[in-house]
Structure 1
Amino acid sequence: MDDVVILGAGIVGIATGIHLLRRGRSVTLVDKSEPGRETSFGNAGIIQREGVRPHAFPRDLHTLMQVGLHLSTAARYEPLALPKLAPPLLRYWWESSPEHYRRVVESYAPLIGRSIITHSDLIMAVGPEAEALISRYGWHLAFRSPDKLAGEEKKARQDHERFGISYKVLDWAALKAAEPGLIGGLAGAIHWTDPWTVRDPGALVGLYFRLFETLGGTFVRGAADGLKPETDGWSTRVDGRELRAKQAVIALGPWAPDVLEPLGYRLPLFVKRGYHMHYSAPEGVELKHLLLDPEVGYAMAPMARGIRITTGAEFAMRDAAPTPIQLGKAEKAARELFPLGERLDPQPWKGARPCTPDMMPIIGKAPKHAGLFVGIGHAHHGFTLGPATGELLAQQMTGEATAIDIKPFRMERFMGQ
């Protein structure tokens, strides 16, 4: 019997395993896919230290109309999914009110504050291969409208004063100097200087997994048949093989309800799906740094495979067929700013971001069972927060004081709903 079995070999599960192994625990990691090839793979590659403000539900009429009429690139919905999505989305809207959102930001900021610290720890443990994937320049939040840029500068100033987040304001000339390949259409940008970016997030998670194995962790590839409480711990079956452990961790991202609901945990979780595609660039032209175009709703980032465009949020059922409509709109808008070449992938990549209505993850012990722990619901910040979540879970599981207060992230806040 192992000390711990972890279901889910994304960045949260891998990081949790590493931190437990460092504390002398024996760990088996289980996933139906290759480690780090689901949600951990398809993001924009930001370790988003500045992200103290999670993505709120839009409350202004203009944005709601844009989304409702399918005119928005930043967000769209599948009408057939609305009956099932309506209850958590209604609470998401409620939690995004100014009063609620202020409390969310105050609770969320300390967790984001662990992002660079915990990634840096793992990067140093891996060594030069991981370091070669990292840029410490930051990224550009670019605006087409001077008024929008001024409004974001005001929020950036507030975040600097409250949370110590560093930034620079770039006018068009300064942005063009930083990104000579841009061809126009922008008023300027906020240059967030604290975050790091990663030129291949899937590869970085793969290196973290290699560290997990080097430390003595075991990986079992296959679909786990739920979790069963035993008198002395937990068991699961993977392709007919029984695995038993004293403690269990659910780090399955959007697939967590498949295991949680049979155990009696019905949580108001939903997914935001997203897509990406890689593009070539003309000879002699390069995109040097990640750029997010919030007035349209997409990001483009220089990656090992080419320039990656990532889309905004698609509200749909997790397993529904792909509808990469937003990608086409994003590609068209991106070509107004940068001379993208041809598509390099045979088809768009699709992933699902696991979300909670209050925009904060669920981290910690499950309240109804001994020895069961959960790390899910990170929405847009799963890649950013994976190592921090792993650290906090391992600390709680081994009886240590946690690096930050994790009470705001307890599952109990959703119980009975």
Structure 2
Amino acid sequence: MDVDVVVLGSGIVGVSCALHLQDRGRRVALVDRRAPGEETSFGNAGLIETASVVPYGFPRDLRTLLRYVRNNSTDLYWDYRALPHFASWLARFWWESSPQKLLAAGRDVLPLIRQSYDEHERFVRRAKLGHLVRASGWIDAYRTPREFSSQAAAAEVTAQSYGLRVTVLDTATLAAREPGLVDGFCGALHWQDPKSIVNPGALTKGYADLFQAEGGSILMGDATSLTSQAGAWTVQTSSGRLVAKEVVVALGPWSDRVFAPLGYRIPLRAKRGYHMHYRPTRPMLSMPFVDAEQGYVIAPMEGRLRLTTGVEIARRGARPTDIQLERAERTARPSFGLGERLDASSWLGLRPCTPDMRPVIGRAPRHTGLWFAFGHNHHGLTLGPASGRLLAEMMIGAPPFVDAHPFRAE
């Protein structure tokens, strides 16, 4: 079985890479151990987040750091057994989170963010998935007047700087706009530019169906079987050995299982997160809500409410815990009218994160025909199609639509 390119990983990034390469005349096979969209791309909050132009950095204020040290917050939970594994990564994450470095990271990723929805829209239209997309934006809600006032002022500066649309909502306006809320929030910011997806897993599967309908191959296989022989790459699949001149590693938080044995020391770590679905007991929310001071998201998902948690620092293979979910649920249930749980157990996902908050996109420096597309931090759903376009342009030798220099593996 011979193709031009094998893409390892069938999440939103891998599927997007496969589609863009196929659109440029390459014969492509998509290989994963599971069906498309069943890992990280399945369980996120469903935001195509065109408003968060500055990455989520490591907090530097003493009050927040002390709260994290006590390990009783909703937005972060850490397993002490994982700290040796994360220590050097967290140190660099802190270093890269200075105000100046955060702004630099934002400038580097901004061109991808600005192109993200246009690339999604092309795929959505071709795959006839418009019923999954909502153009209502999202709401950043605050519980204390001091924090709300501070963030509202900062949001207006950000909106003017980047050409974004934001509306400041006081308590009465928020309550009138969202009757599904009760007391608990003193105000909110309505970011109007982002889009939301009511079923992120179905979106990725729909893109994969489009890829397959237009001639692409989707195969079950083991990415760790990848080998290089005689100027070609081979990988074992359920349909036999697959051979290609080029291979793309787009395995998200598992990408190190391929690049590390090949000698690459890229600082990739997985931040864990959970979700649970609930029956709504009040009118359905019109858009996703971020409880900004507690660090979780409530998103309407096809008649259900999905609660997605903040960050859990734990080893990738550690057993799931419901500590963060239970903390968020206690706060969210009275505010959003969460009814009974609709899932038998919580869902655990892994966010593939780099300490400088930039994805890795481009050529592997020491292996001919090896390409990388991973490390999209909290914005894989947003950046997947734009990243796929950038990588495809680089692979065929076309002028890239953005400067790819900040995303080099080096």
Normalized against structure 2, the TM-score is what? Answer: 0.97
Correspondence 1:151 to 2:150: yes
1:225 aligns with: 224
Q: Which amino acid aligns with 1:116?
A: Y
Q: Which amino acid aligns with 2:28?
A: V
Q: Which amino acid aligns with 1:229?
A: S
Q: Determine if contact 1:119/1:387 at 8 Å carries over to the other structure.
A: yes
Correspondence 1:212 to 2:219: no
Note the C-alpha offset of 1:161.
2.2
2:400 aligns with: 402
Secondary structure (helix, strand or coil) at the match of 2:379 reads helix
Q: Determine if contact 1:296/1:330 at 8 Å carries over to the other structure.
A: yes
Note the C-alpha offset of 1:222.
2.6
Correspondence 1:12 to 2:13: yes
User: Which of 362, 372, 375 does residue 364 from structure 1 map onto?
Assistant: 362
Q: Determine if contact 1:138/1:192 at 8 Å carries over to the other structure.
A: yes
255-264 or 159-168: bigger deviation: 159-168
Question: How many Å separate the matches in 2 of 1:34 and 1:227?
Answer: 19
Correspondence 1:48 to 2:46: no
Correspondence 1:375 to 2:376: no
Q: How many residues align?
A: 409
Q: Determine if contact 2:136/2:286 at 8 Å carries over to the other structure.
A: no
134-143 or 157-166: bigger deviation: 157-166
Question: How many Å separate the matches in 1 of 2:25 and 2:109?
Answer: 30
Question: How many Å separate the matches in 1 of 2:239 and 2:200?
Answer: 32
205-214 or 147-156: bigger deviation: 147-156
CA offsets 1:271-317 (integer angstroms, 9 cap, x no match): 110000000012x6222221000101100011026100000000111
Note the C-alpha offset of 1:246.
1.1
Pairing 1:406-417 to 2, within 5 Å after superposition: 406-412=404-410
Which segments of structure 1 move beyond 3 Å, counting only runs of 4 or more? Answer: none
2:348 aligns with: 350
Gaps of 5+ in 1: 413-417
Question: How many Å separate the matches in 2 of 1:265 and 1:189?
Answer: 44
Q: Which amino acid aligns with 1:385?
A: L
216-225 or 324-333: bigger deviation: 216-225
Q: Determine if contact 1:109/1:163 at 8 Å carries over to the other structure.
A: no
- RMSD between aligned residues: 1.2
Q: Which amino acid aligns with 1:68?
A: V
Q: Which amino acid aligns with 2:292?
A: P
1:200 aligns with: 199
Secondary structure (helix, strand or coil) at the match of 1:225 reads helix
Question: How many Å separate the matches in 2 of 1:317 and 1:149?
Answer: 34
Question: How many Å separate the matches in 1 of 2:153 and 2:111?
Answer: 21
Question: How many Å separate the matches in 1 of 2:225 and 2:386?
Answer: 26
Correspondence 1:160 to 2:159: yes
Question: How many Å separate the matches in 2 of 1:155 and 1:243?
Answer: 52
Q: Determine if contact 2:248/2:372 at 8 Å carries over to the other structure.
A: yes
Secondary structure (helix, strand or coil) at the match of 1:263 reads coil
Note the C-alpha offset of 1:240.
8.3
Q: Determine if contact 2:276/2:308 at 8 Å carries over to the other structure.
A: yes
Q: Which amino acid aligns with 1:121?
A: R
1:415 aligns with: none
Q: Which amino acid aligns with 2:149?
A: A
CA offsets 1:135-168 (integer angstroms, 9 cap, x no match): 1010100001122122222222222222111111
2:39 aligns with: 38
Q: Determine if contact 2:11/2:251 at 8 Å carries over to the other structure.
A: yes
Question: How many Å separate the matches in 2 of 1:370 and 1:108?
Answer: 26
1:180 aligns with: 179
1:84 aligns with: 85
Q: Determine if contact 1:278/1:305 at 8 Å carries over to the other structure.
A: no
154-163 or 385-394: bigger deviation: 154-163
Q: Determine if contact 1:200/1:303 at 8 Å carries over to the other structure.
A: yes
User: Which of 279, 295, 299 does residue 293 from structure 2 map onto?
Assistant: 295
Question: How many Å separate the matches in 2 of 1:55 and 1:131?
Answer: 29
Correspondence 1:253 to 2:252: yes
Q: Determine if contact 2:221/2:235 at 8 Å carries over to the other structure.
A: no
Gaps of 5+ in 2: none
Correspondence 1:62 to 2:69: no
Q: Determine if contact 2:253/2:352 at 8 Å carries over to the other structure.
A: yes
Note the C-alpha offset of 1:226.
3.4
Correspondence 1:108 to 2:106: no
Identity of aligned residues (%): 46
Q: Which amino acid aligns with 2:309?
A: T
Q: Determine if contact 1:179/1:289 at 8 Å carries over to the other structure.
A: no
